[in-house]
Chains A and B, each alone.
Chain A
């Protein structure tokens, strides 16, 4: 704050109370304000001015503080009527009720202090027209010039007509203002409701108290001593409501300190929920920048869509060392508290950077896993296609050829030729058999047709070591069965090649949404799950399905290969 501004503040601090006391005292001394309500009256103007000034200090960018202080000043100006001077009376009379016009303006412009829309500007301008009406009303008062310097036009009927128009107009104006804030509240999200709520409540309280006041007045004629209280008390609440509503954002900044502590204390708490709490926006989402790309991902690594212009959400970008780290998607209303969002962003910058790296890592992991799964699936379907082509193409042709040779042999009479044909048929039979085994190695048809248990039994019958199979016929998803089949085939191949086992066993089961496939033997053990055994490739295949492969092979106690693959 500059020296000059500080001087201005001191002046306000000294002059303000003096002015208020001067104005209110006039009321009291001259009996316009009843003794009982004087403290309330004084309270209304001093609270309005004080709250207004505090708000002005806190939120210089927001006009609410200035307008609120003005309303307090206007409330007091009405009081100078009492100083038995025709000019003071005239001025006081003109400003009587003007504070309510400012309050209505405040309400309509709340919480930004700016009217924005053209229709609202027209409405508020029309509202201030009621002030002009008050001036004309003062000029047409039935009162001599020595009491009212403004009494220039003696017109009692015009005066009373203006009085009616003025009070009806003021009523409509105030109701409209409350309706506008009410509808704003209904449409608002959590953050904005926290700001709008107190003011809307105070305005409704005042409207209710005033309505009661008017009704009592209409019924009992005039009993100001009694009926003055409720509206005055309600008036006291209004400046406090504005102050509370807007200062809340400032109070929230205290929560930023808690936020930083929280993030330190619990690693499990996600940045997003901590921010959502600190900024009072449950729908808040945090997006992390993905490398150099112009895309954001959430903490699970999934893409995050940023709100479009004109939606009720907005984005605040968080940067660190000139590098854009993250985007916080929040309610648009939070933009009215730039200081708060800024404080939060600064406080969590480092933590955000960490989480961004994590999210990025998770994203890459996800992509990697997806591409691995795609690769395995592609390879599997290629194998299936190849097997089908061999069976339905080459094999069929060889069979047709065999049939032809068969008939040829029946027709040929030359012994040598018959001999040659027989040899050719033998060769052909061998070729067909080899082709059949080749196709089987590429993809066993029984796996697709009858499932893993049947395919495992066939593997067992072809194994050189006795193999016991324990399985029910339950079917698993094709990818799981294929992976399980290769696990069993590779494990049995290892049993023959390395284990020196005298027997082996296969177990296929299911537990907790996992397909459990195990192959064990009673061999020498000491198998290395790493390179060379083909087990590494199996681990990849099982991993591609989010499963895991465990090899237990202590020297001297056999080898067990166990695969667990999610199958739900």
Chain B
């Protein structure tokens, strides 16, 4: 797997590079801002881009905007945005585009190599990734007379994995269930929540997140 790294902190870039190198992942280019990042992607055609959400010059959401620019030019390149914010608004903004594999991960996950590597692997397979802490927070949200209350324990679990961006097959593997059973659970969940069933990839995750955010 070939990766382009974008973060304005040299310390973080160096640390990440080493973690990736140990996992046998090649960092083919580095960038310290969005402009450099887009140029590096043009130049090296990586499999995945890892980008900080905050970069110069305004230190706001450059990472999200860079993701859109990259997908527009290279739909095959997956983009993993590392963020400091547990805010569904950012994840929803990132998943607005249905093209391209997108991931929204809390930046502190980089301290656990397994989390980061799993996310990268899923992105490479073309899946969507949403940080589980964000999903947990949305699921913990209290609400009045919500259809969420009608979900079984198992269905709730399936829903949270859907929100994290897992495919039916991914959920099946995670829960040790057969793909057929998972499909049934997913259909039930969507029916109970009143969500349309033909959602694919980013769209399905976005619809679930938006529903959970209320």
Contact = CB atoms under 8 A, between A and B. Distances in A.
B112 interface: yes
Contacts of A396: 9, 11-12
A540 to B, nearest CB: 28
B87 interface: yes
Main SS of the interface on chain A? helix
Given A445-B85, A449-B61, A450-B93, A403 B16 contact: yes
Contacts of A400: 9, 11-12, 14-15
A445 B18 CA distance: 30
B180 interface: no
B187 interface: no
A388 B112 CA distance: 24
Contacts of A410: 22, 113
Contact of A406 (B54, B88, B113, B143): B113
B214 A436 contact: no
A226 B43 CA distance: 108
A428 interface: yes
A392 B137 contact: no
Interface residues of A, number: 44
Contacts of A364: none
B32 interface: no
Given A461-B138, A466-B144, A402 B89 contact: no
Interface string A83-110: 0000000000000000000000000000
A21 interface: no
Contacts of B8: 392
Most B-side CB within 10 Å, residue of A439, A444, A449, A461: A461
Given A445-B85, A458-B87, A458-B88, A406 B111 contact: yes
B110 interface: yes
Contact of A425 (B9, B89, B111, B142): B111
Contacts of A126: none
A396 B18 CA distance: 16
A428 B60 CA distance: 25
A528 interface: no
Contacts of B90: 446, 449-450
Nearest to A454: B89
A403 B18 CA distance: 9
Interface in B41-69: 54, 59-61
B137 A461 contact: yes
Interface in B95-140: 107-108, 110-113, 137-138
Interface in A390-433: 391-392, 395-397, 399-400, 402-407, 410, 425, 428-429, 432-433
A493 to B, nearest CB: 16
B107 to A, nearest CB: 6
Contacts of A392: 8-9, 54, 59
B213 interface: yes
B181 interface: no
B111 A402 contact: yes
A465 B141 CA distance: 8
Nearest to A465: B142
Given A407-B18, A450-B93, A469 B214 contact: yes
B84 interface: yes
A352 interface: no
Contact of A445 (B16, B60, B113, B138): B60
A520 to B, nearest CB: 14
B151 interface: no
Interface in B77-91: 84-90
Interface of A: 388, 391-392, 395-397, 399-400, 402-407, 410, 425, 428-429, 432-433, 436, 439-440, 444-446, 448-450, 454-455, 457-458, 460-466, 468-469, 502-503
21 contacts: A391-B54, A396-B12, A399-B11, A399-B108, A399-B111, A400-B9, A402-B108, A403-B15, A403-B18, A406-B112, A407-B18, A428-B111, A429-B108, A429-B111, A432-B111, A436-B86, A436-B108, A446-B85, A446-B87, A460-B214, A462-B137
Interface of B: 8-9, 11-12, 14-16, 18-19, 22, 54, 59-61, 84-90, 93, 107-108, 110-113, 137-138, 141-144, 213-214
